[in-house]
Amino acid sequence: MVGHNLKIAWNLMRMNSLKPKDKYVELAKKIADLMPAVGSDQQRGGWYDVVERLLNNHSGCHQFVWHDRKAWWQQEQAILAYLIMGGILTDGEYHRHGREAAAFYNAWFLDLEDGGIYFNVLANGIPYLAGGNERAKGSHSMSGYHSFELCYLAAVYTNFLITKHPMDFYFKPLPNGFADGILRVSPDILPPGSVAIASVEIDGKPYENFDAQGLTVTLPDSQERVKIKVRLVPTA
């Protein structure tokens, strides 16, 4: 599957932020450089579902395994892989691939009349409304895993790594919900020191008991659920 290769590149970059290894970045770049020619539609945009891993014909192309449709989650993996790589490595080509994948997704996968996200589209972007899961917009594999995950992480990578804009995050923890009383607000596995806390509000009032670089907030001693607003800012 095309998306699984891109997911490997995406998560190698996250792991490199957690435990740096040159080999993580080298393999991520190798995958990211190879995949557009193998799995993307370089004429109409978007990413195919499944292609043959090996070249076994005379066309010079990796043939489709079953069809030339494009699944929504392949687009997600491409968007997140190339956004995080473009942001961390400051590589314009990776950023371009991420933006082009996002453009195809926004143009063809969103049902702007009835809401929701199509499971599959044809190669030209027309929704594929077959029976079963591919007609429904919610299933075991949709919703959280590839839908709001994409929305959230695309915003995190774009704002913190590329456009350098702050973001506000909101929390409402249960009383005594954390044994150590510490709320950890790191938005994802990003490069160390790339994001810091700029300000915190609790129930609408400024709150100063936080570690800006450690991305933690010491919760107040309260038996009521408090509303917490944390503003994170890029530092580089």
Question: Is residue 91 within 8 Å of residue 85, measured between CB atoms?
Answer: yes
What's the gap between Cα 55 and its chain centre?
A: 30
Q: Are residues 73 and 154 in the same domain?
A: yes
Q: Give pLDDT, residue 131.
A: 62
Q: Are residues 12 and 123 in the same domain?
A: yes
Question: Is residue 158 within 8 Å of residue 216, measured between CB atoms?
Answer: no
- Higher-confidence residue of 6 and 131: namely 6
Q: pLDDT by residue (tens digit) across 60-106?
A: 777 766 778 888 888 999 999 999 999 999 999 999 999 999 999 99
Q: Are residues 139 and 192 in the same domain?
A: no
Q: Give pLDDT, residue 133.
A: 57
pLDDT of 25 strictly over 70: yes
Q: pLDDT by residue (tens digit) across 110-159?
A: 888 878 888 888 888 888 777 655 556 666 666 666 678 888 999 999 99
pLDDT band of 191, cuts 50, 70, 90: very high
Q: Determine the straight-line distance between the first and last CA of the chain, rounded to whole angstroms.
A: 35
In DSSP terms, 231 is beta-bridged to: 168, 199
- Tally of structural domains, the chain: 2
Domain boundary among 100, 132, 162: 162
Question: Is residue 82 within 8 Å of residue 97, measured between CB atoms?
Answer: yes
Sheet bearing 182-184, strands edge to edge: 182-184, 216-218, 210-211
Q: pLDDT by residue (tens digit) across 64-77?
A: 667 788 888 889 99
- Cβ atoms within 10 A of the Cβ of 212, count? 15
Domain limits for position 10: 2-162
Eight-class DSSP state of 219? P
Among all chains, which residue has been given the structure tokens 């973001």?
A: 167
Burial class (CB in 10 A: 0-12, 13-18, 19+), 20: exposed
Q: Are residues 80 and 178 in the same domain?
A: no
Tokens for 30? 């190798």
pLDDT of 167 strictly over 90: yes
Domain boundary among 133, 162, 191: 162
Tokens for 144? 């959280």
Among all chains, which residue has been given the structure tokens 């699944």?
A: 71
Q: pLDDT by residue (tens digit) across 37-59?
A: 888 888 888 988 777 677 766 76
Average pLDDT of span 183-212: 97
Q: Nearest Cα to 123, choosing from 71, 78, 166?
A: 71
Question: Is residue 172 within 8 Å of residue 223, measured between CB atoms?
Answer: no
Sheet bearing 195-202, strands edge to edge: 167-171, 228-234, 195-202, 205-207
